[in-house]
Amino acid sequence: MRFALAFTLIFATLLLMAETRAPARAGQWYQADPKALAAEVKGHFAAVPGDVASRSLSPFVIVSPHAGFAYSGRVAAHAYAGLTPRQFDTVIIIGTSHSFQNGVVALSPADYFETPLGAVPVDRDIVNRLSKADKRFVPSAEIHKPEHSIEAQLPFLQEKLQSFSIVPVLTATNDMALLDLFAKELVKGLDASKKKILIIVSTDLSHFHDYDTARKMDGETLNLMSTGKWDALRSKIFNGACEACGFFAFHIAARVLEHYGVTGGTLVKSENSGDIVQESRPGGVVGYGAIIFEKKKGGAAKEEPTGGATDAAERKYLLKLARTSIDHYLKYGEELKPDKPDAGILTADRAVFVTLKVRGELRGCIGQLEARGPLYKAVAEMANSAAFHDPRFSPVKKEEMKNIDIEISILTPPQKIDSYKKIVLKRDGVIVRSGGRGGVFLPQVATETGWDIDTFLGELCSQKAGLPENCYKDKSTELSVFQVELFSEK
């Protein structure tokens, strides 16, 4: 008895010394009293049909909602019903920050995440490894403090797993290339770890449509999620046909699933807040869904997906290749024909732009809007074109090379949009076409100039495409958007 009391006191003292992230929504979105919360969660699990709770799935990724438990609790319970105590050592919970959008993936510096049911330890080993992988994977107490999307998963996990640690991740960015890179680092960690790891994607679906519209929209979103049609999902999210506030979190998980050859999951439950509060149906409801993805037996990984991001070594290789391509032409007067690198993203077909700058000023920029061959060949060719065939500039001379900084932009496939209002400045590159004329701006143009959306599009139409300045507002003008993975020598 005395030993147990002493151990409890020691643990309590250590907990006070540790950095603990306090709950943000206890008493608002779920019960703050421990007994009341436990009863609330158990009540949601009790309502899950026996055939669902006993279903023999081996989850690898789970999609679960994060609204107030009175609204989304029974859908979340369906997501977690089949879990058993100590089934997993670590749970990676990926949510999207609703308060911050500052170009980072936010990890947590905390040692524990607290709920009324107790403190959940953070797996510092995994968090520290991820934070060292890229300077944009940032431990941030500020971003995590007000966010509910991770917190909302914990009481359900505490009830089912009982003992586990977490890796709390928030996407505070819409940079698809950065999200791809984070997924790639996750895969490295999963492959290297001997721990039993579960990944949770925290997301709600459509927001504030009438009941029937929400059911139709959410049905499409969940179908695309669960059947592995993730490129189509991204396109429909960006053009507004589908909605999921945690889409960027799901995108990370989708890239991980692709790596392991997982092409679909099991839709366990879907409903919306109108199923709980029927009088809300005409005025606007919020959608929820639960999906379970299982890893293929044997865990065999696919070859690196063509949609993934480059790692540090690959970026270094491509930048060196671009410079070598220019130097080769200056020395021999002919284009470099580079040797084929090892299989992976370098040999995948990707569209690319190569930009040359001297002391921050543009010195040449040429690229492709659609892939016409392997990435390594495209970089060598576009570097050569930017240096010697950009009609706006004279060919680069040998003595200039010491002052030239090379920048590479790897493009995602362009997606057509039906309104310029769907463009996200600094995230999206934009292609405009009308009457046989066209032009393109990379997303970094907005960052470098500080232009607002109207100036950005006006300059694109008039300066780049030779079209009327406000043609982007014309319904007959074709607009497409894309994102880039951007890196440079500096």
pLDDT class of 51 with cuts at 50, 70, 90: confident
Q: Read off the pLDDT of each residue in 59-74 and give the average, rounded to a whole number.
A: 97
The pLDDT of 348-373, averaged and rounded, is 91
Residue 141 has pLDDT above 50, yes or no: yes
In this predicted model, what pLDDT tens digit does every residue of 76-109 receive, in sequence order?
999 999 999 999 999 999 999 999 988 999 999 9
Task: Please give the residue that has the higher pLDDT: either 414 or 68.
Answer: 68
Question: From CA 412, how far away is CA 231, in angstroms rounded?
Answer: 10
The stretch 379-398 carries a mean pLDDT of 95
Q: State pTM to two decimals.
A: 0.67
* Dist CA 177 CA 182 (whole Å): 9
**What domains lie within the chain, and their CATH numbers?**
17-294 (3.40.830.10), 312-409 (3.30.700.20), 415-488 (3.30.1490.150)
pLDDT beyond 90 at 424: no
pLDDT for the residue numbered 303: 41
What pLDDT does residue 255 have? 92
Query: Of 52 and 50, which is predicted with more confidence?
Result: 50
Whether the predicted pLDDT of 8 surpasses 70: no
Question: Which of 147-151, 343-347, 348-352 is predicted least confidently?
Answer: 343-347
Lowest model confidence (mean pLDDT) among 45-59, 232-246, 350-364, 367-381: 45-59
- pLDDT > 70 fraction of the chain, expressed in percent and rounded: 93
User: For residue 180, what is the enclosing H or E element?
Assistant: helix 176-192
Ramachandran quadrant class, 287 (left: phi over 0; alpha: psi -120 to 50; beta: rest): beta
Residue 40 tokens read as 């609330």
First and final C-alpha spacing in the chain: 62
Amino acid at 222: L
Token output for 9: 């006191």
Neighbours of 323 (CB within 10 A): 16
Residue partners of 140: CB distance under 8 A and separation at least 6: 104, 106, 107, 108, 109, 172
**pLDDT score of 343:** 64
pLDDT(16) > 70? no
Paired residues of 121 in beta bridges: 112
pLDDT tier for residue 52 given thresholds of 50, 70 and 90: confident
Q: Is the pLDDT of residue 302 over 60?
A: no
**Cβ neighbours of residue 130 closer than 8 Å, sequence gap 6 or more:** 107, 137, 167, 182, 185, 186, 189
pLDDT in tens, 163-191: 999 999 999 998 888 999 999 999 999 98
- Return the structure tokens found at 268: 């366990």
What does residue 8 show for φ and ψ, rounded to 5 degrees? -65, -40
CB–CB of 433/478 below 8 Å?
yes
d(CA 329, CA 337): 11
Which band of pLDDT confidence, cut at 50, 70 and 90, is reported for residue 75?
A: very high
- The string of DSSP letters for 392-460 reads TSPPP-GGGGGGEEEEEEEEPPPEEES-GGG--TTT-EEEEEETTEEEEE-THHHHHH---HHHHHHHI
User: In 302-429, which residue ranges form alpha helices assigned H by DSSP?
Assistant: 312-332, 375-388
Model confidence at 345, pLDDT cuts 50, 70, 90, reads confident
Helices (H) and strands (E) in the chain, counts: 15, 20
- What pLDDT sits at residue 306? 39
The average confidence (pLDDT) of the chain is 90
Looking at residue 279, what is its pLDDT? 87
Q: Please write the tens of the pLDDT for every residue from 427-473.
A: 899 999 998 899 999 999 998 888 999 999 999 999 999 999 999 99
In this predicted structure, what is the pLDDT of residue 11?
46
| pLDDT above 60: residue 380 | yes
